[in-house]
Structure 1
Amino acid sequence: MSIRFFMLILIIIPNLFLACANTESKTIKEETIVEVIKEVPVEKEVIREVEIEKIIVQEKEIIKEVPVVEREVVEVVKTVEVYIDQKSDSLIDLSKVEGIVNPKNFSWPREIQAMNGNIVINQEPQRILTVSLGHDEMLFGFVELDKIVATTSFSQDPGGNIFEFSNGLPVITADPEVIIAQDPDIVFADPYANPNLLDALSDLNIPVIQTTLHNDVEGRRADILLMGYALGELESAKNLINILDERIKFINSYTETKDVNEKPKILSLTYYDAYWTGGLGSTEGSIIDLAGGINIAAESGVQSNDMITKESLISMNPDVIIIPQSKEWGGESFFNDLISDNTLKEIQAIKNDKVYLVDPRYFTTLSHWNLRGTEELMKIVWDDLRTKKFIDFGR
């Protein structure tokens, strides 16, 4: 082998070893780099995915919650608004209430067409009184008690309908000075009030409202609404009417089941130096009609409260007689005389022990309390109601 070939081999072989060494080192480095590349991005990618997922979940939860809360708040607000509208005075129909000049006016001043002229009420009264028992009884049915500054003496009778509520208040008389001393913002009077008294109060710019008091169902509602309107107490007046309507509903549903042949002939009878009865249009007559009876006095042509003769009494021949006259005013004595009078013994009511002394506070008053008269009469007339408990009106 030549010296030149030998030297070439010596040069190539080391370079081959060096190349192999470099290749191995490069491979190791590359593998190390690959491992790093595999580890780091994967780890970071997982972390990013988790973070992103968490954020998305939170954003979804917020999107779900916020609209629900907003919808609930809107619904609550709407409910309150409807409730307020339902309690608004403007929903109460006053178009059929006689005496209210502008039924659509629910602000102040308000104007009432009364028996004594048109009366303007500039603002809601805070000091109220009446010179009428019927008006007093209605007042105590729905007006705030601290607004009522005085009552009539009849209202504070221990045997009266509102004694429990009126007892202790100042008592007014027909003397204008007594009324003026109570500094009233408004005064109510019935048709029988002294004209001089009304003039004296009007001269002092005290609004006086003189009204008729009705004894029928619709008229009773109108009386209460008129007072409620004049006093700014329409909502509480309507509440009282609702109570009355519920009781009337029971009465009507019961009496409608009765055939005309079942209905007894009833006579309301008192005695004050003569026989007096309640005919067509009387309070006693309206009580009899509502209770499901036949008002024999009205059937016989008697108008309102009027005198009748003994012969008329015998001719009417009632099945039931009620005596709405207090013991203090001779009611018990009259009862005894009536059932012991031999000339009257053939009258059906007397023959069958159907004569009853009833409480006049229910049967003669001109307020919603006469509805209690109807209820008590029903217990007398209808055997299946004999033990039913009817309660008085409260506050």
Structure 2
Amino acid sequence: MRGFLRPLFGRRARLRWIHLILGGALAMPYVLVGTVVVGPLTGSDADFSSIVVQLASFAVGLPLAAVTSLFPLTRPLESAAVRWLCGVDADLLADGPARGRAAKSRTAAWFTLHLGLGGIIAGMSLALPPFAAVLIVLPFASELRDPRFGLPAVFEHAWALALAPVAGVASLLALAACAAGAGVLLARWAPALLGPTPEDRLAAAEARAADLAVRNRLARELHDSVGHALSAVTLQASAARRVLDADPEFVREALTAIEETTRRTVGELDAVLGVLRDGDAPGTAPAPTLAADLDGLLRRTRAAGATVTATIGAPLAALPPVLSREAYRIVQEGLTNALKHTGAGVTVTVRAALCAGHLEITVENPVAASARTRPGGGHGLTGIEARVRLLGGTVRAGPADGSWRLRVRLPVTHPSAAPGPPSGPRHPPEERP
């Protein structure tokens, strides 16, 4: 018995019944508007006294409902109601407003169907229970059989009176069956009418791609800034420990460089994490550029025990901000790789020059015999390739003449780097101490 009643009166069936009654409630304003149209045409003073007038008003109101379903909030609200009351998986429904003719047509069809079935089930839910209650108690309440109540003559027979409670219970079961069946139909048709269209899927894919691009950019920033800082601080601390008693002045410089490196990296880390926090504005720490911090980057690298020679043949202050920022990260990663894979005593040569409208960057260091590569490789070169690709440049990295050489060529006039200085002859080189 329980297995028979659960599809009719179970929790899911009750929630879907509520969903239908809500549709009937939403249909009432449209039905009232329909009576304003139908009443004068039929010449009826009591518009709700005739079932024909009621059905005609209902038929006039549904097209009005289809028109109002074009409001942007209709599909999100209907999808939420279907998800919670009809038990439809959220992945099968679209959350955003309907855009495009196909999506709007489907939303209009769904809204009309919901209000149409809801109006019918809501009307039955109002009318049938009182009628069924009268049938159930009719054999036991003689006053209800008074001719003044206008009962059908068939109830004057004993057999009809005896079957009245059965008919009352059957009518309630029929109402529950109609409501359950309508709820199942709506739940089955909801994914087709409220589900995402190809345009919705394309927009969602573009949003995911944009979010992934932002996350990848933040990951590169974290890798380059924090990775460089950790490598430099580790080597600076190691070098200071080895000469702690012999060279206090070097130890003092190393500790100063560690303090400066960590303070700057904390500021960059706060700026990046600010973007990741929901509802939080990005940090205020400025992004480092070649013009603003190349000398500081070289000084902190030398404090780790490396010998760095820099030859600059480009007007760093005139470079576009985007190009200067990305070039800084490329130089930083090149120095980090030299420290990480070669050691504190490495000699690194950094060159930057303008040539034929391109900024050419070269970071070169000897290949140590004891250099080791981490299992699976790191992400430094991958990040450099991603930065160079976004700017429309080229990158080459690998052994060359007994050294490890990183060579990057970036267009100064690339759209991502504009506005920039006009292309021209190579700028006279400048030695950075």
TM range (shorter): under 0.3
Q: If the length of structure 2 is used for normalisation, what is the TM-score?
A: 0.24
Q: If the length of structure 1 is used for normalisation, what is the TM-score?
A: 0.26
Work out which of the two has the higher radius of gyration on C-alpha atoms and give 1 or 2: 1
